Amino acid sequence: MNESHVFDPKHVAVLESEDRKTWQNPEEILELIDLNPDYVAVDLGCGSGFFTVPLSRKVKKVYGIDVQKEMLAFLEQKIQRQKIGNIEPLLSVKDKIPLENESVDLLITINTLHEIPNKKRLSQRYEGYSDQRDRQ
């Protein structure tokens, strides 16, 4: 399957709904990951930052990466409103990721893989960005 549907920014309210926290609570889910306060993390397909912001409270820095500048604009609004200093929104072009090799410790991607046509190629590229390749 080569054609993937990319999320329509007009529907951002769906991602931000209070109801979502009842079945997909970022705080509870992030508790399940072994997070280190020194980590540099990536939220791939960060959208409006539903997971990016809670993650930023638990690690040193988060790159919020998305292919749509409209989605990054929603994230930027949150950063400004909440005066968050450790999230950097980054625009990517398909599977070209704007990061240096071996510059991140952790990658999360939530509700996004179904939008990525060539997952194998993307995961191979991301392997180069991690400095902890032996970690699961």
3-class secondary structure per residue, the chain: CCCCCCCCHHHHHHHHCCCHHHHCCHHHHHHCCCCCCCCEEEEECCCCCCCHHHHHCCCCEEEEEECCHHHHHHHHHHHHHHCCCCEEEEECECCECCCCCCCECEEECCCCHHHCCCHHHHHHHHHCCECCCCCC
**Binding of ligand SAM by 59 (CB under 6 A):** no
Q: Which residue is nearest to ligand SAM (CB)?
A: 47
Provide, rounded to whole angstroms, the least separation between the CB of residue 6 and ligand SAM: 5
**Binding of ligand SAM by 63 (CB under 6 A):** no
**Binder to ligand SAM among 39, 40, 42, 47 (CB under 6 A)?**
47
**Binding of ligand SAM by 115 (CB under 6 A):** yes
**Binding of ligand SAM by 50 (CB under 6 A):** yes
Residues near ligand SAM (CB under 6 A): 6-7, 15, 44-47, 50-51, 65-68, 71, 92, 94-95, 110-112, 115-116
